[in-house]
Structure 1
């Protein structure tokens, strides 16, 4: 009987050793998705803050530029931390829209924020999809 108990314990331990790497991979993928999702939420908030800054530009003209700089910083962070091609493309698209908004500000124009919001939404979808 002790022999079969030892054999059962050995088989259980071997099974656990085989399962641990698989669960570590799953946790790693889940953690990456969570990190990406959290950053996408932060970027969505950055876009909302940029919108508020643009709406309040008469009172605080520098706020819009500062909001775009925060957005750029967060985009750089997600770009460095993601190896997913869909996320990378969404970040590139959003960076393009941020650059267009910055050009409008530099030219003393009011930027169109709809493409910026759409690009942020696409990033959120890429992170969760």
Structure 2
């Protein structure tokens, strides 16, 4: 597994604990649960795309585009300021990954993993 793929998988693992958050207590929990499902799916697709980059180099770009689209929707619907900020931070990292992909470079997914971890912290902290 390549370093970017490993980092994407690590980011996914950091986000998955959000799915255990009870969604019945507060709007923040609802936001976080929805975020976990969407972002987890998108990060999984991104990880798969990097693992399969030799067969379909454009897949990573599509995966980042899906992640960005879902983050845009989630950011607009987030009821918590903290969740909105964490989503915005993750959006910025997705934008940087997209810029690297567009420039035919391998993006550094470490900061994306950090942003996903921050989202986890906001939702569970």
Name the TM-score, length of structure 2 as normaliser.
Answer: 0.71
Q: 1:94 aligns with which of 75, 79, 90?
A: 90
Q: Does the CA-based 8 Å contact 1:90-1:122 persist in structure 2? A: yes
User: How far, CA to CA, are the matches of 2:77 and 2:63 in structure 1?
Assistant: 21
Change over 3 Å in CA distance of 1:92–1:35 after alignment to 2 = closer
Q: Which runs of 5+ in 2 are unaligned?
A: 1-22
Equivalent runs, 1:1-129 vs 2, <5 Å: 30-129=26-125
**1:31 Cα deviation (Å)?**
4.8
Q: Which runs of 5+ in 1 are unaligned?
A: 1-26
Greater fraction of residues in helix: 1
Q: Report 1 or 2 for greater relative contact order, CA contacts < 8 Å, sequence distance ≥ 6.
A: 2
Alignment length (residue pairs): 103
Name the TM-score, length of structure 1 as normaliser.
Answer: 0.69
Q: Does the CA-based 8 Å contact 1:53-1:67 persist in structure 2? A: yes
Q: Does the CA-based 8 Å contact 2:65-2:98 persist in structure 1? A: no
Q: Deviation above 6 Å: which 4+ runs of structure 1?
A: none
